[in-house]
Chain A
Amino acid sequence: MKLSRAEVEHIAELAKLGLTEEEKKKFCEQLSAILEYAEVLQQLDTEAIPPTATVLPLQNVMRPDKVAPSFPREDILANAPDVAEGCFRVRAILE
C-alpha cells in the first residue's frame, strides 16, 4: 500500500509539522514501508484472539478519591515560556 503525497501532507498538518518537498518524499516512502509491514501482519489469522488495548497483565488500576497538595505555583510556572497574572501566557488564540 502506497501513501499518496496528499495523505502525507494531511498527516503532517494534523501533527502541525512543516515538511520540505524532500521530507515529504522521504516520509511518503517510510510511512508506506510501515503500512506494508502492517499488511504482512494482517495476513495472520487472529480469529481466535480477543482484541486487547494493552500488553500488560493489569486491569482496574484505580485510586481512591483523595486530595493531596498540589505543586507550588512557581514550580508549575517555572517551565512556562511566558507568565502573566499567575497564568501561562501564550500567543492569542483565535477560534
Chain B
Amino acid sequence: MKYEAIIGMEVHAELLTRSKMFCSCSAAFFGAEPNTLTCPVCTGMPGVLPVINRKAVEYTIMTALALNCEIAEASVFSRKNYFYPDLPKSYQISMYDLPLSENGWLEIEVDGNSRRIGIERVHLEEDTAKLFHVGGYSLVDFNRSGVPLMEIVSRPDMRSADEAYAYLIKLRQILRYLGVSSGDMEKGAMRCEANVSLRPVGSAEYGTKVEVKNLNSFRSVKLALDYEIRRQSRILDERGNIEQVTMGWDEDRGVTVVQRSKEYAHDYRYFPEPDLPPLSISREWVEEIKAKLPELPDARRDRFVAEYGLPAYDAGVLTADKAVADYFEACVRAYPQAKTISNWIGGELFRLLKEAETGIEEVKVTPAALAELLTLVEKGTINQNTAKAVLGEMFRSGRAAAEIVAEEGLAQISDADELGPVIDEVIAAHPDEVAAYRAGKERLLGWFVGQVMKATRGKANPQLVTSLLKEKLQRRQ
C-alpha cells in the first residue's frame, strides 16, 4: 500500500545570551572546566530565587515574530516535574498552558515547491546539566544547567524526510540571521526530535506516532526519518501494529532502536512556577522588537535578485548563510559587479573554505582585498587562472593581491613583442602538430595555446596568445 508520512518536529535551541536563564552565571559554557559556571540557583540549592533574563524573553519573541507567531499578552512559567540527575531541582522551569507565542508558520522549499509548515508554539525554558557516563558511574557537570533554551514546536505538517530536513535548515538559517542561536547541531546548541506516523494515502485519520530522538546532525535527521518511514511501512504492509514508543537513532548501525515504551510515559504534573511572577507582554515591547528584526533570509534572497540582478540560484546560495550574504554585499560596495563577485564567492572562495574546513567569518581575504584582485583581472594585469592562484595565496597568508603579483612576477604578459619569440619557439619545436593544424585539424589551436601558457608559466594573456598563434600559423601557409 502507498503511505503518507506525517512528521512533526520539536526543536530546542540554546540562546546566545551572555548569562543563564535565571541566574547571572555565564551561559558560554562550551569548553569550560566542569562546574566552574555554576551557583546555588543553577545547581538547585534550597532557598534560592530565580530571576528571568530579559534578553532571553526578547530573543524568544524575536524568533516567534520571525516565524509569524502571535505573541501572548500574558505568559507564565511552569514547573515540569521529573527526577533525573541532570535536573537538580527535580523540575525544569518551562512553559505549559501559557507559552510566549503560538500559531505561526515557516515556508520551506523542496524540489522547487514552496510549502508552509505550521508552528504550534515557541516557548522558553532552561537547559539541563550534562551527564558523562564513566566506569559504572555518571558524572554531572552543571555548566549547561540553566542556559536559556527555546523550544519550537511545529505542527505535523511535513510529509517526507526531505521536508523535515528543509524545515530544519530553514529554521537554523532564521535563528542565525536573528543572531539568537548558533544553531550548531554538532555542538548540541540545536537539538531536535521528530514525531513520525504513517497513514494510507487519502486517509484523513492519523496513525500511531513514534518519537525519534538522538538526531545529532542534519544528515542523521534525514537518514533516521527515511529509515523510520520504511520501518513503519513494512510493519503496516504485514498488517502489524505500530507501537507508540520513543526510538533512538543509532548512527553507527543506521537504524532506530526502541528507547522507551509508552508504559513509562511521563506525567509531569505541571503547575505555575510560584517563584516567578507572570509576564505581561506589552504591545509596545513587541513593536519595539519587531522594529529591530533584521532582514530575513527569504527577503534578502529576493532583494539580491531585484537589486543586483543575480539569478535566483546565486541569490539562494549567497543568502543561505548571513555571514556570506554580508561578505557579498561588502564586496559589491567595493567592486560593483555583483555577478562576477557571486561567481568568485560561490566558486573559488567556497572551494578554499571547504578545503580549509573553515567558515567565511575566519577568512583572511577582506572584501576590499577581493575587490582589488578582481580589479587586477579587469585591467588585464593578471589572467583568470593566475587570479585563482593569487586568491589561494591571499586566503592562506592574508597578503594583498598586488603584492603577491609583484613579488612572484605573476603579471600577465600582454606584450606582443614579448610573446612573439615564445610563440615562434613553440611553433618551431612542433613541426608535426603545425602540419596537422595546417591540414585542417584546427582543434590543435587550443593545444598550442596550452604550450605557450606552459612556456610562460601561465602568465601569458590567453586572448592575445590565441590571436597571435592564429596569425603566425596561417602566415607560413
Contacts and interface: CB of A to CB of B under 8 A. Distances in A.
16 contacts: A53-B98, A60-B279, A60-B280, A63-B51, A64-B54, A65-B17, A65-B53, A65-B56, A66-B24, A67-B18, A73-B36, A79-B45, A84-B134, A88-B140, A89-B139, A89-B140
Given A62-B54, A67-B24, A95 B260 contact: yes
Contacts of B40: 71
Nearest to B36: A73
Interface of B: 17-19, 24-26, 33-40, 43, 45, 51-57, 76, 81, 83-85, 98, 131-134, 136-142, 259-260, 267, 269, 272-274, 276-280
A89 B85 CA distance: 10
Given A76-B43, A84-B137, A90-B140, A64 B55 contact: yes
A62 B136 CA distance: 42
A66 B19 contact: yes
Interface in A41-93: 52-54, 56, 58-68, 70-71, 73, 76-77, 79, 84-93
Interface string A8-49: 001000101000000000000000000000000000000000
A56 B278 CA distance: 10
Contacts, number: 122
Closest 8 CB pairs of A and B: A65-B55, A53-B272, A87-B139, A68-B24, A58-B277, A62-B54, A88-B140, A86-B34
Mostly, the B contact residues are: loop
A66 B53 CA distance: 9
Contact of A62 (B39, B53, B140, B273): B53
Contact of A53 (B26, B57, B278): B278
Given A54-B278, A59-B278, A70-B26, A65 B19 contact: yes
Contacts of A68: 19, 24-25
